[in-house]
Amino acid sequence: MQQREDFLLKAYELGIIKFGNFTLKSGIESPFYVDLRPLSSSPQLLKTLANNLLELADDAPYDLICGVPYAALPMGTTMSLASGTPLIIKRKENKGYGTKRMVEGVYEDGQNCLLVEDVITSGQSLLETIDEIEREGLNVTDCVVVLDREQGGIEKLKKKGYTVKTLFTINEVIEILHRYHRLSDGELSRVKNFLNNPPAPPEVKRVPLEQKQIQHPVGKRLVDIALKKKSNLIASADVITTAELLKLAEEVGDHVVALKLHTDIIKDFSMDFIENLKKIAKEKDFLLFEDRKFADIGNTQELQYKEGIYKIGSWADMITSHVIAGEESLKVFDNVGVVAIVEMSSKGTLTDDYYIGKALNVAESAPNVMGVVAQRKVSDDLLLFTPGVNISTSGDNKGQQYNTPERVMRGYHTDFMIVGRGIYQSANPKEVAQEYQSLGWAAYEASLS
Ligand code: S5P
């Protein structure tokens, strides 16, 4: 007993739990914050912790130990060293090359693995890790956890048949800290009150289009058109002749805010065609959006943008560009709204969370970027464009993945949805464009309330 309390007080000195006002990832305001990672800064405490966790797992049958990444990795390692039980390591992401294994180490089918977790809240990350370990042919029966935040995680795991043992509950932690005068009476009751009546996460409200702080003039034009037409639809005209494209522009023009093109797939491209298309765009009030997806150094991108047979810079209102070459490379796009690709819709895309974060930094610091292409809400300041929308199918056999207008508007708070084959391959593109327009706008309006 005393030993546990000593351990906790020393861990507290290291800063594993702080009291005050903290905004959690969920948006909830919490009076305390727990982070067990500083424990690794005290080898002595880490050893004590490992021994305590091993004691908890005394009756558990196991041949291997695995810590849930990342916080429990050093805990699992120390338990392995102290007990002589081999460690396996679960990756957070598949490294995408080499063996493509999600679990590293030497193990055999049917071996039993003890899982170690630092803090259990909803139990979600522990369940995900168990699932991946089991998919490797291993068995999981027991888990040991340092701290239970008492928010239903343990019950969830028990229901699924797992045995979970915890060293401390959050209530025990605050009682001990209070008893040893690390926590005042007022703080104790504040934390207890929070734990007894956990607040629901705040609802993320969508900012209506007319209230968005759009800086870019093309962004403002696009929003004006959207409000006037009651449309958040961009049709992707991925057809390969100018005749088909002009016909499509006439048919869908009234229902879209922009027509997205891949001019390099058109067999008979000419600047005359562009003049005709511009006339339709003017008459039907939509913007021309060239989906060139630039991805080179600034100088090359400038040549691709201004020269060649397409002379994109002379007619496009908007373009797409990757940001892989960095912020300076985007400067060459003048007189146009740049939509930065930060996440792609296709299966197996390399645009993981890490990439998105870095790509957003570039996009947000380039003044000519008006929006981003992504499959989720990533930025408050930039317009969000989401391709991969189709009401009749969930994907193609080339990696494309589809969502419904409802999902992208209500779930992701997308500003503009991009629909290609769903419209231009339909029997009646005009009618279908109108259908997407009303579905998209209704879902947008529903997402406001
Ligand atoms: O991640 C992306 C980005 C884009 S711009 N995924 C996409 O599908 N796109 C484009 O959107 C793609 O190049 C195509 O022009 C359109 C989707 O077409 P659909 O036929 O699959 O709807």
Q: What is the pLDDT of the chain when averaged over all its residues? A: 94
Distance (Å, whole) CA 168 – CA 171: 8
C-alpha distance from residue 164 to each of 172, 427, 446 (Å) = 17, 57, 42
Residue boundaries of the structural domains of the chain: 2-196, 209-448
Q: Of 397, 399, 400, which is closest to residue 386 (Cα–Cα)?
A: 400
Q: Could you tell me if 219 and 371 are in contact, meaning their C-beta atoms sit under 8 angstroms apart?
A: yes
pLDDT at 93: 64
Q: Of 307, 363, 301, which is closest to residue 332 (Cα–Cα)?
A: 301
Residue 234 near ligand 1, beta carbon < 6 Å:
no
pLDDT at 432: 98
Rg (CA), the chain: 28
Distance (Å, whole) CA 115 – CA 287: 55
pLDDT(74) > 50: yes
Residue 261 near ligand 1, beta carbon < 6 Å:
no
User: What is the average per-residue pLDDT within 272-298?
Assistant: 98
More confident residue, 354 or 168: 168
Distance (Å, whole) CA 359 – CA 344: 12
293 as an active site residue: the answer is yes
In tens, the pLDDT along 414-434 reads 999 999 999 999 999 999 999
Q: How far is CA 65 from the centre of its chain?
A: 30
C-alpha distance from residue 267 to each of 244, 263, 272, 311 (Å) = 11, 9, 14, 16
Provide φ and ψ at 239, rounded to 5°: -105, 165
In tens, the pLDDT along 315-333 reads 999 999 999 999 999 999 9
pLDDT at 53: 97
Q: Which of 233, 234, 238 to mutate to test the pocket of ligand 1 (most atoms within 8 A of CB)?
A: 238
Pair of tokens at residue 27:
């948006």
Work out the burial of residue 394: count CB atoms within 10 Å of its CB; fewer than 13 is exposed, 13-18 middle, 19 or more buried: exposed
Residue 222 near ligand 1, beta carbon < 6 Å:
no
pLDDT grade for 94, boundaries at 50, 70 and 90: low
Distance (Å, whole) CA 25 – CA 355: 20
pLDDT(249) > 70: yes
pLDDT at 287: 98
Q: What is the DSSP letter of 122?
A: S
pLDDT at 95: 44
In the set 63, 224, 254, 296, the catalytic residue is 296
Residue 236 near ligand 1, beta carbon < 6 Å:
yes
Strand partners, 294: 321
pTM (two decimals): 0.72
Torsion of CA 354, 407, 430, 244, to 10 degrees: 20
Q: Which of 345, 349, 414 to mutate to test the pocket of ligand 1 (most atoms within 8 A of CB)?
A: 345
398 as an active site residue: the answer is no
Q: Could you tell me if 257 and 223 are in contact, meaning their C-beta atoms sit under 8 angstroms apart?
A: no
- Percent of the chain at pLDDT exceeding 90: 86
Q: Whose CA is nearest to atom 17 of ligand 1?
A: 420
More confident residue, 1 or 412: 412
Establish how many alpha carbons lie within 13 A of residue 102's alpha carbon, considering only the half-sphere containing its beta carbon. Answer: 15
160 as an active site residue: the answer is no
> Domain 209-448's class?
alpha beta
pLDDT grade for 1, boundaries at 50, 70 and 90: low
Does the structural domain 2-196 have CATH classification 3.40.50.10490?
no
In tens, the pLDDT along 25-63 reads 777 889 999 999 999 999 999 999 999 999 999 999 999
Within 10 angstroms of residue 93's Cβ, the number of other Cβ atoms is: 10
Within 10 angstroms of residue 257's Cβ, the number of other Cβ atoms is: 25
